[in-house]
Amino acid sequence: MRASRYLIATQKETPADAEIISHQLMLRAGMIRKLAAGLYTWLPMGLRTLRKVERIVREEMDKSGAQEVLMPAVQPAELWEESGRWTQYGGELLRMKDRHGRDFCFGPTHEEVITDLIRNEISSYKELPANFYQVQTKFRDERRPRFGVMRAREFLMKDAYSFHLNAESLNETYELMHRTYCAIFDRFGLDYRAVQADSGAIGGSASHEFHVLASSGEDDIVFSTGSDYAANIEKAEAVAPSGTRPAPAEEMKEVATPDQKTIEAVSQLLGIDATRTVKTLLVKAEADEDGNSGLVALVLRGDHTLNEIKAENLAGVAEPLTMATDEEIEQAVGCKPGSIGPVNLNVPVIVDRSAAHLADFVCGANREGFHLTGVNWERDAALERVEDLRNVVEGDPSPDGKGTLEIRRGIEVGHIFKLGNKYSTAMNATVLDENGKTVIMDMGCYGLGVSRVVAAAIEQNHDENGIIWPDAIAPFQVAIVTLNAHKSPTVAEAGEKLYEQLRQAGYDVLLDDRKERPGVKFADMELIGIPHRFVVSERGLAAGTLEYKGRKDAEKQDVPVAEALPFLVNASPRKGL
């Protein structure tokens, strides 16, 4: 591609409303433009990367034996009513009426549509397993769309859905998809992790998320130093401390802690470590048959944080997790939130494993301005229910018993689920098995955020000058920058010759033949993040050389003109996609 005939829409200024680096760089490098909140146009430069991501996904999905289909974006309400999600799905579902007043939505996902298709098309176990995917435009009406294409309302997604006679077959395809996702992310050239995850609202028995590691990521992901264990912090188990709980050594005493409302303040006042305290949170209990719901107390060690997903997955706790209001707490306990404790508390108490291991600890006295010290379980407070309630922290033992845990930040770009029969039961998707018996199919689903991968790749790979693309998903692999070519036919000719040579060798090349100052061209090519750059100048040609600089390199180097192609092949063995 010749830059003089291409929309190079770079910008020097950092756009004011772009909060994260990938959003800033995608705007500055001329990859996207905002049309409205959460709606982006992909400019030519950005679309090239998007298409490369899409192509890698498609090739690996095809290789796995999945069959590509294309379902409509607009979906009839009837199917969502069948699955129950027309009412369950919240404000993110963009609903609309057609000219005849019938209800439709802009599909945020396609479980209902594919299940409807397959229940009509597949009737025998002989046609199973089968896995169908699409690369398609989705819409989620985010309340507060931001971060550019990272959390856009309209986005490009690869979604796949597999159908099975039994759980064993689902497991096999699930493992195949896990391997396929690894192959896809390997080809992207990104540093990623597959982690165990909570299945959430979509349902099902197991799921893994694929995260691109980046310090700006919104998710904490947890690894073991001693094994392959990896999980989203939402899901990572905090194992019980080893050994038995120490025996009580102190008497329980009430101490005044006026105006000390936080764990830190109380610890400091009493001169003890936060690890010797507990905090007690009151949340809504699951409603009873009559729809009435009381409160439940969750007790954690003072230095630990509540894992809301673990809490709301517990029997007896309302889902979604809902903190009690100050009024509800005062009414139930008779004090403010900062003074609650498990001793003589008149609501059911669930104690975290680590908190349950404490002896002689400090907690609120259920009396405004007072705490208790020297508290001991069983002696002073009942210990009826112990659960895993907290987020793991660095240094915790790995749940598989091998090594300790480390935590890094990740951006979720893929999520694979064993759905089981949630949708197939609701929509009566059956086949006949070997014995002619009607069986509900098992299902898996496998999402990958195609447009989000582009942003995540930038979050992981950039410096102060711009984007640093991995070769496989760079808009162009190679930039050829000619200096003052409009004044020097020698430079122009050498540039054209190199351009043709590299293109014919299969590289995706951008020839920067614009009549711009060298500094502008260099800055643009660095901002856009093209992995390899050759500079063609009169001075270099006089010496028979081109200047080469890899986007990650600190130093430039001279390469003899005749050596340019073999040099590049060596630097970037992966040729044009």
Which residues, listed in sequence order, are joined to residue 549 by a DSSP beta bridge? 533
**Candidates 139-147, 321-329, 454-462, 476-484; binding stretch for a second copy (CB under 8 A):** 139-147
Examine residue 12 and tell whether it contacts a second copy (CB under 8 A).
no
What are the Cα distances from residue 488, in Å, to 492, 499, 525, 541? 6, 17, 21, 11
> Residue for token digits 């800055």?
523
Check if the beta carbon of residue 434 is closer than 8 Å to that of residue 440.
Answer: no
Least gap, CB of 152 to a second copy (angstroms): 9
Examine residue 7 and tell whether it contacts a second copy (CB under 8 A).
yes
Q: Is 208 helix (H, G, I), strand (E, B) or coil?
A: strand
Structure tokens at 394: 């660095």
Least gap, CB of 317 to a second copy (angstroms): 28
Whose CA is closest to 391, among 301, 461, 475?
301
- Among 75, 257, 277, 376, indicate the residue that binds a second copy (CB under 8 A): 75
- In the bound state with a second copy, the residue whose beta carbon lies nearer, of 11 and 325, is 11
Examine residue 5 and tell whether it contacts a second copy (CB under 8 A).
yes
Examine residue 76 and tell whether it contacts a second copy (CB under 8 A).
yes
What are the DSSP calls for 80-106, one per residue? HHHHTHHHHS-TTSEEEE-TT--EEEE
- In the bound state with a second copy, the residue whose beta carbon lies nearer, of 98 and 250, is 98
- Among 86, 117, 216, 303, indicate the residue that binds a second copy (CB under 8 A): 117
Contacts 24+ apart (CB under 8 A), 488-494: 488/538, 490/538, 490/541, 491/536, 491/537, 491/538, 491/541, 494/536, 494/541, 494/561
Q: Is 423 helix (H, G, I), strand (E, B) or coil?
A: helix
Examine residue 141 and tell whether it contacts a second copy (CB under 8 A).
yes
Examine residue 246 and tell whether it contacts a second copy (CB under 8 A).
no
Query: Considering CB under 8 A, how many residues would be counted as binding a second copy?
Result: 49
Question: What is residue 466's DSSP assignment?
Answer: E
- Among 19, 81, 121, 228, indicate the residue that binds a second copy (CB under 8 A): 121
Check if the beta carbon of residue 304 is closer than 8 Å to that of residue 395.
Answer: no
**Candidates 119-127, 203-211, 407-415, 532-540; binding stretch for a second copy (CB under 8 A):** 119-127
- In the bound state with a second copy, the residue whose beta carbon lies nearer, of 114 and 355, is 114
Examine residue 500 and tell whether it contacts a second copy (CB under 8 A).
no
Encoded one letter per residue, x for contact with a second copy by CB under 8 A and - for no contact, window 39-58 reads xxxxxx--x--x--------
Q: Which amino acid is at 561?
A: V
Q: How far apart are CA 109 and CA 83, in angstroms?
A: 13
| Phi and psi torsions of 535, nearest 5° | -110, 130
- Among 20, 29, 61, 116, indicate the residue that binds a second copy (CB under 8 A): 116
Check if the beta carbon of residue 114 is closer than 8 Å to that of residue 423.
Answer: no
**Candidates 137-145, 241-249, 452-460, 555-563; binding stretch for a second copy (CB under 8 A):** 137-145
Q: How far apart are CA 110 and CA 282, in angstroms?
A: 38
Q: How far apart are CA 6 and CA 511, in angstroms?
A: 10
- In the bound state with a second copy, the residue whose beta carbon lies nearer, of 344 and 484, is 484
Check if the beta carbon of residue 52 is closer than 8 Å to that of residue 577.
Answer: yes
Examine residue 476 and tell whether it contacts a second copy (CB under 8 A).
no
Chain positions 85 to 114 lying near a second copy, rule: CB under 8 A, are 91-92, 94-96, 98-99, 104, 106, 113
Which positions touch a second copy (CB under 8 A)? Answer: 5-7, 9, 33, 35-36, 39-44, 47, 50, 65, 67-76, 91-92, 94-96, 98-99, 104, 106, 113, 116-117, 120-121, 127, 130, 132, 137, 139, 141, 143, 153-154
